[in-house]
Amino acid sequence: MSHARLRINYRVFTVFLVVGFVMLASAAAVVLGGGQARLRASFGDHLGNVADQTAANVDSYVFRRAIETAILAAVPEVRRGAAAASATASGPALTRQQDEEWQRTRKVPAALAGLFTNEASRFLSEVTRNDPTYRELLLADRHGRLVAASAMTSDYNQADEEWFTRTIQGGASGRMQVGGVTWDESAGTWALEISVPVEEAAASGLVGVLKAVVDVREIVATVAAVRLGATGDATLVEDDGAMVLSAARPVARAQFFAADLLRERLQAATREPQGPIHFAASTADGEPRLVGVGLSQLRASYPHLKWIVAVSQAESELFAPVRYQLWSLLAVLGLMAIAVLGLALWFSLRLAAPGPVEDLHLVEHPKVETIDDESV
């Protein structure tokens, strides 16, 4: 008996194997891409929520210090000192002369002796001693002349300072102002300037302005406290992309690494309000990062403070655990596919093997006699 031998077409087998591998890789890429997109959206929402919470903490600190400064401006010693100085006649020429002598000699002119020893200065000095975050407190009358201060200042005439003009231009009673984070020459530190109008106790007229220079270390601590993994951090920026504070230290007008995308997202959010703002961007070194954005509410009270908290983290760190699991799963599936193909090949070769060559003959048994002598 002859049998047709089944032969495996290895070329066809190889083609199907390659096509199957390509299909598996394509499916894995589609699944991985879709999964990463969903993860990016989820992680982005999380970073946006963290940024919103950090911005709320920064707002809370600034509002609290503004209220505390307003309370200081209402202290009787401060009110009496500002009212008495505002009632003193002094022409612009004399004020200018005293200011020039002050800046030239770095000493208090003889005509102003007692400026740092009056009751208002003693009170302000005591406040700065008890609360070191107040780096400087100074009081100017409604004409801009220095009335009292916690320590020596860089000049005498405050009428040309931006914080003074903004405060007294707020109306008959003035308006509280909070400046940005700047380098204060008098205090010699990065600080937040808060200026509060001082009103006379008897009437509601403006008699002076109290300026507080507040150390930004607490704001830096709030921003630096945001640590997400090994690469996640927060930055306080303005809406034009200029950095205000980083997690490490204050910075001077440096640009956020994703300033252009930040402006685009803010404009889009203004046109169509949405949930947490987040986007993907790359650093100057080419590192992909995911950025979440939180808007400060200070702009509602102080329009020039358009602060934003940006929390970013490297995508490689965010997706590392999930990518490891996905690639491990794909590796297991690939090994299982190879094992199944190997077993299928082995069994197909075994089944295709020819049967025994020898012919099997039936053995004829002898006739069996029965009792009735009848053959069976």
Give the residue from 126, 128, 143 showing the smallest Cα distance to 84.
Answer: 143
Residue 248's contacts (CB-CB under 8 Å, 6 or more residues apart) are 224
For the four alpha carbons of 176, 180, 184 and 187, in that order, the dihedral sign comes to positive
Q: How far is CA 90 from CA 97, 105, 142, in A?
A: 11, 21, 12
Q: What is the predicted pLDDT for the residue at 48?
A: 92
| Blockwise average pLDDT, block size 10, the chain, 376 residues | 54 70 75 75 90 94 93 93 85 85 84 87 94 92 91 88 86 82 70 91 82 89 88 90 76 81 87 82 90 92 90 86 71 77 70 59 65 57
Eight-state DSSP code of residue 4: P
d(C-alpha 310, C-alpha 55), whole Å: 9
Q: Which domains does the chain have, with CATH numbers?
A: 35-61+219-317 (3.30.450.20), 74-215 (3.30.450.20)
d(C-alpha 313, C-alpha 292), whole Å: 9
Q: How many residues does the chain have?
A: 376
d(C-alpha 16, C-alpha 340), whole Å: 14
d(C-alpha 181, C-alpha 233), whole Å: 20
Q: Give the 3-state secondary structure of 289-334.
A: EEEEEEECCHHHCCCCCCEEEEEEEEHHHHHHHHHHHHHHHHHHHH
Q: What is the predicted pLDDT for the residue at 71?
A: 94
Give the predicted TM-score (pTM) of the model: 0.75
Q: What is the predicted pLDDT for the residue at 34?
A: 74
Q: What is the predicted pLDDT for the residue at 1?
A: 47
